[in-house]
Amino acid sequence: MLHSVHWLAPALVLVALACSAAGAAAPADTGPRESFHLYLLIGQSNMAGRGRVAKEDRTPHPRVLKLDKADQWVPAVDPLHFDKPGAGVGPGLAFGKAMAEANPQVRIGLIPCAAGGSPVTVWRKGASWRQTRSKPYDEALRRAKLALKAGVLKGILWHQGESDSNAKSAKLYQERLVDLVARLRKDLDAPHAAFVAGGLGEFFVRGRPHAEAVNQVLEHIAQHVKRAAFAGAEGLGHKGDKVHFSAASARELGRRYAKAMLALQSR
């Protein structure tokens, strides 16, 4: 009996190792570095997405990948982000798919780094954000630099401003946003990376003068930052809370981001 157990133990170890290997998802192939175009997705909850996930959001595009929570390149499906348990459909996936369709010779790599509820002031080195128990800027830099080993940073998508729509912060928003873009480009050694800011939902801005002031800064960002553009949110609806875009509206916003990004890149 002991003799049988002696031979059985190594066999069980081999089976366990085989099962472990089979269960682990292999990282996706990113292809040649120069044709793997990276986009950093940052901001607060409307970038992370809070829309309800449907079948189309779980259907990957063959040339669109995301850097997941474990820092692995995997097929991009929603939710892209993981800032909070409620992460759902945001603009990122629709943006990635539109960029891939417009550029058949490249692969798209999405780097999700949004932090729900975060004001613009926590998007700086060393700053912590209690809601997500993270350091948004530091983590975005870390993940972007990791991604840069596989591809080339082509652009940055920003959707944020709701948390700064107050009397104290709105008047400083332009200065802070311009500074953020400059720091990102410097810290990532990407001085020519295109920057596209997304507009706040009309449902959120309506009746809020400070939100209107922030949205004006976003809309006119190209007047203060080179290689920058605006993706408007006109006509887009909310999910029922008058704060977050519905899934359908988030997808449309993503396509608007892509249109603005492509226009910048064509210049």
What pLDDT was estimated at residue 267? 87
Among the four given CATH numbers 3.40.47.10, 3.40.50.1110, 3.20.20.70, 3.30.70.980, the one describing domain 36-265: 3.40.50.1110
Measured from the Cβ of residue 190, the count of other Cβ atoms closer than 10 Å reads: 19
Q: What is the DSSP letter of 89?
A: B
CA angle 65, 70, 72 (to 5 degrees): 35
CA of residue 53 relative to chain centroid, distance: 16
Give the Cα separation of 150 and 215 in Å (integer). 35
Q: Is 164 helix (H, G, I), strand (E, B) or coil?
A: helix
Q: Is the pLDDT reported for residue 208 higher than 60?
A: yes
What pLDDT was estimated at residue 17? 39
Q: Which of 22-36, 46-60, 65-79, 206-220 has the lowest mean pLDDT?
A: 22-36
Give the Cα separation of 49 and 230 in Å (integer). 18
Strand-strand pairing, 152-159 and 228-231? unpaired
Q: Is the pLDDT reported for residue 110 higher than 60?
A: yes
186 pLDDT band, cuts 50/70/90, is: very high
Could you tell me which of 140, 222, 138, 125 has the C-alpha nearest to residue 174?
222
Give the amino acid at 139. Answer: E
243 pLDDT band, cuts 50/70/90, is: very high
- Of residues 28 and 228, the one with the higher pLDDT is 228
The pLDDT of 173-193, averaged and rounded, is 98
Q: Is the pLDDT reported for residue 19 higher than 90?
A: no
As a whole number of Å, the end-to-end CA separation of the chain is 77
The pLDDT of 12-38, averaged and rounded, is 65
CA angle 224, 157, 235 (to 5 degrees): 90
252: left (phi over 0), alpha (psi -120 to 50) or beta: alpha
What pLDDT was estimated at residue 25? 55
> What's the pTM?
0.90
Q: Which residues pair with 107 in a beta bridge?
A: 36
Strand-strand pairing, 73-75 and 107-112? unpaired
Q: Is the pLDDT reported for residue 14 higher than 70?
A: no
Map tokens 């999910």 to a residue.
239
The pLDDT of 39-57, averaged and rounded, is 98
The pLDDT of 119-125, averaged and rounded, is 98
Q: Which of 16-20, 202-206, 242-246 has the lowest mean pLDDT?
A: 16-20
